[in-house]
Amino acid sequence: MDTMTELSFGQRLQTLRAAAGFSQEQLAERLDVARQTISKWELGTSTPELSKLVELSELFGVSLDQLARGENWDGPGSRTLDLERLARQNRSSQRRTALTVVGSLCLLLGGVLYAVLRALQTWLSGLQYLLYRYMTAGEYVSVPTAGKMLRFPLALSAGLAAVGISLLVWLLWRRKKK
């Protein structure tokens, strides 16, 4: 590609980023920089430090010369660009993250729903007992076990909520680590 030699570093970076299917925000997260930094690199108002150039070359599968100067883009010994593979991996990673978050939320909501239904069942059982006692014996008594019966569903709900929150925090931490 002779055209890549003619492009500025920023234009090459933008071409590689777009071909790989990354937004500026996604690339910034991968490199642990601000989105504005990516924008400045693409506009040519600043250039990345060497460690970021190395990360970019590894991410896009090009040599530093190819990335920084556009030299030997298709020359002998150059690594070939496999941007379609990179774009597929990026889309796959995004789908996995979305599915994991949705699964976590479903787990959390299922646990909360179970706890609410269990508490409602316990409350209705207590109410049924009170009505039975009132109708048969004509007396009103409290149900001493109702408070104890509510503890298990609430503890289960809290446990499931803690698992869901822990899972989401772990996913966010893992995403930031990449």
Fold of 2-81: 434 Repressor (Amino-terminal Domain) (1.10.260)
pTM of the model: 0.47
User: What pLDDT digit, counting tens, does each position of 10-47 carry?
Assistant: 888 888 888 888 889 989 988 999 999 999 999 989 98
User: What pLDDT digit, counting tens, does each position of 87-130 carry?
Assistant: 777 777 787 777 777 777 777 777 777 777 777 777 778 778 77
**Alpha carbon distance 134, 123 (integer Å):** 16
pLDDT value, residue 40: 94
What percentage of the chain reaches a pLDDT higher than 90?
10
How high does pLDDT run on average in the chain?
Answer: 76
pLDDT value, residue 2: 47
Instruction: Tell me the C-alpha to C-alpha distance, in Å, between residue 120 and each of 1, 76, 117, 126.
Output: 69, 73, 5, 10
Tokens of 134: 């009132």
pLDDT value, residue 95: 77
The domain limits of the chain are 2-81, 93-177
Residue 3 has pLDDT above 60, yes or no: no
Phi, psi of 91 (to 5 degrees): -65, -40
DSSP code for 144 = T
Given a contact cutoff of 8 angstroms between Cβ atoms, the answer to whether 107 and 161 are in contact is no
Band (174; pLDDT cuts 50, 70, 90) = confident
Tokens of 114: 């179970």
55-78 average pLDDT score: 71
